[in-house]
Each structure stands twice: as C-alpha cells, then as structure tokens.
Amino acid sequence: MAAMLVVTMLATLLGQSTPAWARYASLVVDGESGMELYSRSADTPNYPASLTKIMTLYMAFDALKRGKWALNTRLKVSRRASRQPQTRLGLKVGQTITVRDAILALVTRSANDVATVVGENLAGSESRFAASMTKQARKLGMSRTTFRNASGLPDKRQLSTARDMVRLATAIREDFPKYYPYFRTKKFRYKGRVYRNHNKLLGRYAGTEGIKTGYTNASGYNLVVSVRRDGKHLIGVVFGGKTGARRDRHMIRLLDRGFSKLTRFAKLQRPPLPWPRPNGQATDSIQLTAATDTALRESAVESVAAGIEQASATAGSDGLPPMFAGNRNDKSMAQAVVRNWGIQVGAYSNNRPAEAVILTARIHLGPAIEHGRERVERVRRRHGVIYRARIMGLREVEARSACAILLIKHLPCVPVPSDVEVAEISARK
C-alpha cells in the first residue's frame, strides 16, 4: 500500500511539470499577407496535443458545408468514445449529441470524448478519421503533420509544427467563414453545467478571436491564437510552454511585438520624411499623387528584388518614374528623387560597430543593393561624437524594401534621403 502511494504521488508530481521533451517553438505571421514577423524553431516537429482538435473541427465544418451534416444532426456515442480520458464532457455510451453542441464542446471544453464521437461518426472509426485528417493536412500544405487520433491524446507518431498550425488556422478561417466565429465562444452550457473556454486571451487581449489551446505532459502548454486590431491581423503559435499562464504572457509579448512591426512597416510605406529639392534643400512636406505613391512608395516587404522590379515596371523608357512623364527634361530633380536615398542601420560611439553592422546588413540583403555605397559618418553631438552606419546611393523603393527586410531580422533600419539627418537610433559601445 505504501509503495503504491509513493508511485501515485510521483506520477502526480510528474504530471504537474513540463518534461524535457516538451520543446519550445513559436511563430507569428501577418494574417493577411502571411509575412513572418517572429519565428523560433517553427519547423521543429512537436506534439500538438489538443491543437489537433482544430483539424477535427475543420473536418466537421467541411461536413456541414457539404451538407453531410446539419447543426442539429445527432451523433452517436460509442463505448470507446465514452471511455476517453480527461478532459471530457462525460458522454455515456448510447447517448447522442448534436453537431452544434459537439462543436462548442471542442472549442471550449476541448472534450476528448466528443472528438472521438466526431471522428467515428464521420469516418466509421477514429483511425480512419485520423488518416483522413492527415490527407487533408497534406492538401493544406501541412507537410510535417501526422494525425493518429481526433483528440490529440498522447501518441508518439502524432506530430506537427508551428508553421503547419499557422497554415491550419489560416485555412479554417478562409474555408469556413460561416462557422469560424464559433472559436470566439467564451462559455458553453450543456446539461446544466457551464464550461468556459480554455483560451484565456479571449476577452483579455484586445481583438482576440480564437482559436485553440492544447496540453499534455509531453507537449507542454500549446496555443494557437488569432487577433484582429486596428485593421491588422496576426496569427500566433506557441508550443512547449511551461505553464498556461507563462505561455499566455509569452504569446502576448510576441503579439505586441508583431503589431509593433506592422506599424513600423506601415510607416515605411508612407513615412513623414521630407523630399529633397534639386538644389539639395529639403522641403517640409510634399503631397504625392496616387501615381507617384504607387511608383515610388510601394514597399516590397518580402524581397528587395521584388521592390526593385516594381519600380522598374512603372518607369518609362528612359528609366524615369511616372511623376516626371510630363517633364522629361527636368532630369536633375528626377535623379535626386530616384537615387538620393539610403538606409541608416545604426549610430554608435565608435566606428568599428558601425562598420560591422553595415556588413551584417549587406549579408542579409544580398546582391540586390550591392551598388549602394557604404558610409560611416562621424557626427558631433552635444553629448559627444557618434558614427552613423549608412548605405547610400539607393532608389527610394530600394531603401524602404531593404528596411522592411532588416526589421524582420530584428535589425535597426531607417530609410533616409541623402540630405536628411536622422537622430541616433542605436547606441552601443
């Protein structure tokens, strides 16, 4: 008896801690463009735990969309389903549950017995359902995901990645806009009991619209979340949190960082920077026409080369942008606007780190701006001398695109006209 008690206590203690094989991974992307804003081990296979139920719900939504099920269709509960471990809804063998209640139970309670019910009623058995889930995952581009059950209960062969989970979260929103709002459900009442959603960001982090948490001893605390705020949309994934609360706090930090980056990218497209006049004197402000904005200010966030191609596509036969179509003789002004730009990638207390960061920037940007001129400028300030690290001699679109890439790499960058002095943006010794 004493030995059994010791074993039970050890099992309990082990169950309360996150074991070493719960590996951390995370990914945050712009939900509209798919642009990666933060990534750590995003392609490392991990145990999805109850994130699996996002795919189970995908299959249920698909059955509704195809007319195979209706929300009031009643699903039968098998003996196997009734014996699934926690968390559960407590279904009994022979009982039935509507599709609507099954969806809500998966979204809020993350009920394992309900997941098995959905799988068995759709495919005849949970194993066949898991094979269908994996097949659907491949269609969605989830190349590193394999499902072995409908619930996410422990199975060493059931694996996924943060990147695949972003693909799934994106697909379920785009493919089933009618049913996707179920993920916003904060609580669900069933047979006199109220079940609250495990996703604590709902109602606590502004703009959260779902979608799913997950946990097993082997996986740690997982979370996939979708957030819309101020016209921006982020999708975030975290695997391997040590506790639910720490996972949530970490996700919030990643999302805050993501929203901040999107704000900086928006400023890159239309920043309040003065435009140079032909005589080298900067104007306070010039309102650009829509054609000019498209030709010169469009920033290709994913690639410097793409930005250059866009600028070239809008240029005339003499290489000048549309804003000078009516006055091709004024090439001095055109040359100043098109070529007198650059990027500032840091300001330092001595020249060595300034030279080093320019080299780092070139490594990340590649040959697309190899024509840019490296320049370390010694500038005297009231508090001392600083050394500005710049790459000049770029077109405006090249400078903005380059900064977009460097910001993704967590490197400081500001696009600057050649006659504009930028305040210190980094001070390291």
Decide: 67 and 53 in contact? Cβ < 8 Å.
no
Query: Which residue in 50, 78, 160, 226 is the catalytic one?
Result: 50
Write the single-letter amino acid at 337: V
Give the β-pairing of 373-381 and 36-40.
unpaired
Q: Is 285 an annotated catalytic residue?
A: no
Q: Report d(CA 298, CA 231) in Å as an integer.
A: 19
Query: Which residue in 26, 78, 110, 160 is the catalytic one?
Result: 110
Query: Which residue in 26, 53, 151, 219 is the catalytic one?
Result: 53
Q: Is 143 an annotated catalytic residue?
A: no
Q: Is 260 an annotated catalytic residue?
A: no
Catalytic site positions: 50, 53, 110
